[in-house]
Chain A
Amino acid sequence: MSPHWMTDAPRPFSKVLVANRGEIAVRVLQAAREAGLSSVAIFSESDSSSLHVEMADESVLLEGDGLEMTYLNGSAIIEAARSSGADAIHPGYGFLSERANFARAVEGAGIRWIGPSANAIETMGDKISARSLMIESGVPVIPGDQIPMEEGADHLGALASAAAKVGYPLLIKASAGGGGKGMRSVLVPKNLRSEFEAAAREASAAFGDGTVYIERLLNRARHVEIQVLCDSHDGAIHLNERDCSLQRRYQKVVEEAPSPAVTPAIRDAMGEAAVTAARSVGYVGAGTVEFLLASNGEFYFLEMNTRIQVEHPVTEMTTGIDLVQKQLEVAAGLPLGISQQDVTQNGHSIEARVYAEDPSRGFLPSIGELLVWRPPSGPGIRVDSGVREGDSVTIEYDPMLAKLIVHAPNRVSAIRRLDNALSSFVVLGVRTNIDFLRNALAHDSFQSGEIDTGFLDSTEQSELCGEDADQPTLVAIAASAQRLGLDRQDNAGMEVTDDHTGHQGDPFRTLGRTFP
C-alpha cells in the first residue's frame, strides 16, 4: 500500500530500498518512514549491527567481501529489492548513485529509481560531455582542454600540448570523478607527468575509469553550488546556493547557505544558469550544479551532481524544504508544488563534517572504537550521523562520522552556534577533526567570509592550531581516573539514548524540521 499522499500520483510506490550505508542511509530511511513508506536497508557482513540497519523496517545482507561484492554490487542490490518486495530504490550519494547503468538496470527491473534518468546521469557524469553540453546551452565553463586521455594509451604528447595551451597552474580531473578523488593540481610543468599518473590511477581505482582532462586552475575562487529541484512536468526551480569553499584537497569540510560572497544579482544569474543546465539534460529530481565563483563575480560551471549531496541539510534549514521528501514525491510523478517565487531564504545555516581523521598526522584516517559518542543538541542544532556509541570506525568505509548542522538568524550567530555545538560534541576513542573545525571557524578569514577554495591548503598549520593544552591538568585527570578505577568495563549504568539514532536528545525531534 502506498501512503495516502501518493494516492493521485501517476507512479506510486510503497517500499523503498536504500542502496547505501552510513548517515545518508539513515537520513533516507528516516524520511521514507516519515513519509509512510516501508523501508529496506542493505548491509555488508561488517555492517550487520550498524545504525542504518537498525533504522530500517527490514534489511538484506549482501554477502561477500569488499565494496564490489556489497554496496557496489548492482545486481545483488536489485535482487535484494525483488526478494524484499521493494518497488523503489534510493541510492543516496556515492556508491551507485551516479552509475547510469545501475539506474537503467533498476528501471529495467520494473523498480522505481529515485533519481534522475540514466541519460541525465550519463551526460553529466562524463565531465567532458557535460562541458560541451554547457557550452551549447550557454552556461559559462572554465577554460580547459577536453581531449580525453585514456590510461595506458600514448597520452604524454597530447597531454603536454594540451597543458601548454591551457596554461599553468592547471588541474587534472578524472572525467568520472568527484569528491576530490582523481583530482590533482599541477603548478609547474615538471610535475605534469607524475600528477597525471597519480590522478589516472586514483580515478581507475575509485571509478573504474581512468580518463582525465585538464583545465585552468582558477586561483582565489570560491566553490558555490546551486541546489535544483525538477519534476517530470517541466517544473524546475533552484533553492539558492551553498558555499563550500572551505575544502581540504578538494574535499569539502564546511558548507554554508547563503554564501557570504553571493549578491542577489549573482544568486539570480547563477540560479538561472543552474536551472538551464538541469533543463538541458531533462533533469528530474534533486540535483546540484557546482560553480567556481571568481573574485570579480564571474562564475563558471564545474559539474553537476546528479544525486542528493552530503551538504543538502544547509539548504533544507534555510529554505524549509525537505529535499529527500521532495525526491520521493518527484519519483512518484507528482509535481513540485512550489514555484520559484515560493522559495525563501531564512537565516543562515552551516554544516561541519566531522571526520575520523587526525589533523596532526596529515589528516590520515583514524580508527578505533567510539568509546564515548555524545553529539550536541539544542535549538537550531541538527546532527546527521550513521554511527552510535560503541561502534567501531574502520578504514573499510568513508571516514565521515557525522554532519553537524546549525541554523541561526545570521552568519555571525550561526558560527557561534556551530563552535559551541562542536565544543560539546564529545567523541572519545577515535581522533577526529573537531578541534581543527573549531580552529578553522575561528580564523579571521573564515569569520570575515573571505576565503577561497585554497584557504585550508595554503594556510600554515600553526594558524589553525587551538590553544595549547594544559598538560599537567590533563595528566592529573587521567591519573586520577585510573586511580578511581574508571576504566570503562567497571562502569555500568548507561545513559538513556534514543533507540533509533543513538543520540541523546535526538536533534531530529527537537528541531522541528519544516515540510512544504
Chain B
Amino acid sequence: MEWSVPDDSGRYKASLKEGDDSVTISSMTRDGTEVHMLEVQVESEDKKGRVIVRVGGSTRIAHVARVGDTWWVHIDGRAHEVVFHEQGSRSSENEGSLKAPMPGTVLQVMAKEGQRVREGQHLMTLEAMKMEHKILAPKAGEITRIHFSEGDRVDMGASLVEIGD
C-alpha cells in the first residue's frame, strides 16, 4: 500500500507494527528513499473517528474519516488529506490534461483545437453557483483536444482540454 498527499507526487510506504488497539510506525520511505521521522504511535480511542497520536513524547488527539481512497486527518488545528494507492498503481493523470475543478456548465470556449497557447492563457469559462470561473492553460503548448462546447454540462474531474507540447 502506498500513500500520497495532495499536490505532491511523492509516494510513501510505511512499515506498521501492530499492538493491542494501536499501531506504531517508525520508518517510512518516500519514492523508495528512507525519510527522517519520529516514531508515531496511533491508538484507537474507541470513539467514532478519533485517535490518540503519540509523537516524540507528546500526545495529541486527531480526528480521522475516510471517504473513498482518501483519509481526512484533522490534527493541530488543521485538516489534511492523505490518499492511499494500491501497490504499484501509478496515477494516470496526464500533465497536459485539464480537468473540470467542479461540476458546472461551459459558458465560453476561447480556444480551438490545433491552436498554440501560452501558459496562463484563458481557454474556457465554466459557470457554477452563478459565478464564472476561468480555466487557464497550465503550460504552453498546442491544444490537441477540446472535449466540450458552450452550453455543455460537465462533471467534476471531467477532462476539458488536452494540451500537447
Interface string of A428-441 (1 = CB under 8 A from B): 11011011001000
Check: A188 CB closer than 8 A to any chain B CB: no
Interface string of A472-495 (1 = CB under 8 A from B): 111111111111101110011111
**Interface residues in B30-77 (C-beta closer than 8 Å to A):** 35, 37-38, 40, 42, 44, 46-49, 51, 53, 55, 62-67, 71-77
The verdict on A362 contacting B133 (CB below 8 Å), with A372-B65, A472-B35, A477-B73 known, is yes
The verdict on A205 contacting B130 (CB below 8 Å), with A372-B49, A423-B77 known, is yes
Q: Contact check, B48 vs A495: say whether CB atoms are below 8 A apart.
A: yes
Given the complex of chains A and B, what is the CA–CA distance between A489 and B14 in angstroms? 25
Q: Contact check, A476 vs B14: say whether CB atoms are below 8 A apart.
A: yes
Which chain A residues border B132 with CB–CB below 8 Å? 198, 201-202
Query: Please, which residue of chain B has its CB at the minimum distance from the CB of A428?
Result: B72
The verdict on A480 contacting B12 (CB below 8 Å), with A475-B28, A486-B66 known, is no
Q: Contact check, B66 vs A473: say whether CB atoms are below 8 A apart.
A: no
**Interface residues in A391-446 (C-beta closer than 8 Å to B):** 395, 397-399, 422-424, 426-429, 431-432, 434-435, 438
Check: A360 CB closer than 8 A to any chain B CB: yes
Query: Please, which residue of chain A has its CB at the minimum distance from the CB of B46?
Result: A493
B145 to chain A, nearest CB (A): 22
Q: Contact check, B51 vs A480: say whether CB atoms are below 8 A apart.
A: yes
B63 to chain A, nearest CB (A): 5
Which chain B residues border A480 with CB–CB below 8 Å? 16, 22-23, 25, 40, 42, 51
Q: Count A-B contacts at CB 8 Å.
A: 183
Q: Contact check, A469 vs B66: say whether CB atoms are below 8 A apart.
A: no
Q: Contact check, B78 vs A473: say whether CB atoms are below 8 A apart.
A: no
Q: Contact check, A395 vs B16: say whether CB atoms are below 8 A apart.
A: no
Check: A79 CB closer than 8 A to any chain B CB: no
Q: Contact check, A372 vs B63: say whether CB atoms are below 8 A apart.
A: yes
Which chain A residues border B64 with CB–CB below 8 Å? 428, 477-478, 481, 486
Query: Please, which residue of chain B has its CB at the minimum distance from the CB of A484?
Result: B44
A305 to chain B, nearest CB (A): 18
The verdict on A428 contacting B127 (CB below 8 Å), with A367-B102, A472-B37 known, is no
Given the complex of chains A and B, what is the CA–CA distance between A483 and B24 in angstroms? 11
A63 to chain B, nearest CB (A): 22
Check: B109 CB closer than 8 A to any chain A CB: no
A-B contact pairs, 9 of them (CB 8 A): A202-B130, A369-B67, A426-B79, A469-B78, A473-B37, A475-B12, A476-B42, A477-B82, A484-B51
Residues of B participating in the A interface, judged by any CB pair closer than 8 Å: 1, 3, 5-8, 10, 12, 14, 16, 18, 21-23, 25, 28, 35, 37-38, 40, 42, 44, 46-49, 51, 53, 55, 62-67, 71-80, 82, 84, 101-104, 107, 125, 127-133, 156
Pick the 6 closest A-B CB pairs, nearest first.
Answer: A423-B77, A480-B42, A478-B82, A428-B72, A478-B71, A480-B23
Known: A475-B5, A479-B14; 11 extra A-B contacts, CB below 8 A, are A181-B131, A365-B128, A395-B129, A424-B77, A427-B79, A428-B72, A435-B79, A471-B5, A478-B3, A481-B51, A488-B66
